[in-house]
Amino acid sequence: MKHLDLALLGVLSGFAVFVAVQARETSAISHEREEHGDAVSVDKRGGSKGASEVDSSPNLRPVVTRSAAPSRPSIGPDEVLRRVRERAGGTFIDDVIVAHDSALARWPDRLVNPLRVWVQNGAGVIDWSEERNAIVRQAFTDWSETGLPLSFTFVVDSAAADVHVTWTDHFNESISGKTLWAHNDSWWIVDASIQLAVHHRDGVPLDFDATRAITLHEVGHLIGLDHTRDTTSIMTPRVRVKDLSTADRSTAYLLYSLPPGPLGSSRTRVAAR
């Protein structure tokens, strides 16, 4: 019996050490995100006829390392840069690269294992209606139908989601939407969230066309795109369209045909500056 008791005690002690290590690692990740997380913020004002305007450029959140995301593929950064230059025609990939400090960020392929999206019920916000959530779901569907290796599924449990979409009455700034995302050391995006306003800052409700344009724009940021100078695209800083353009689709397709990470060698990046 004594030998059995000692063996049992050893197993329990080992398990306690494992739990303590896991708790410490989880605490470290949470602290890093809370302490250093800066938003990828997209500033917008809704305009007439469902248009919206973006007033400032987004800034990346700092790196959050998670073992669940894949590491950077073996293809070298100079080869990635060569492919970008070769295929950039008809896209605004150069604008994305500049905004991301000479790097690409994207989600891992998620066709078989869709990204889980939770959309908040905004019943507590005046002028919110279920039609707004339907618009949000359609925006994700529109992006997934561009041929990207991404698919989305909508979940009812927020704790099980990779992406969270929430509603607010309005922002104190002249904005109507905000997107946050984080990447790991290899520049794979690992989680993201979108916040959408129901009203302009002055209290006027955003109509459904404006909500659609804003949501399409925010989902574009969520998948790794940034602003373009092309005013016919949904990703322009001042959105005046309601649907994805050919350039929006082509840029997203190019981004998802390449691995994430810094482009070119350090010497190439310094020369580019």
pLDDT for 89: 93
Average pLDDT of span 207-222: 96
| Tens digit of each residue's pLDDT (9 = 90 or more) over 28-64 | 222 223 222 222 233 343 332 333 443 333 433 444 4
Residue 151 has pLDDT above 90, yes or no: yes
Residue 145 has pLDDT above 90, yes or no: yes
Residues 6 or more apart whose Cβ sits within 8 Å of residue 264: 77, 78, 80, 81, 102, 272
Residue 253 has pLDDT above 60, yes or no: yes
- Please, which pLDDT band fits residue 70 given cuts at 50, 70 and 90? low
DSSP one-letter code for 50: G
> CA geometry: angle at 55 spanning 97 and 258, to 5°?
20
- Please, which pLDDT band fits residue 237 given cuts at 50, 70 and 90? confident
pTM of the model: 0.75
Residues 6 or more apart whose Cβ sits within 8 Å of residue 211: 132, 135, 136, 196
Which of 52 and 157 is assigned the larger pLDDT? 157
Average pLDDT of every residue of the chain: 77
Residue 149 has pLDDT above 80, yes or no: yes
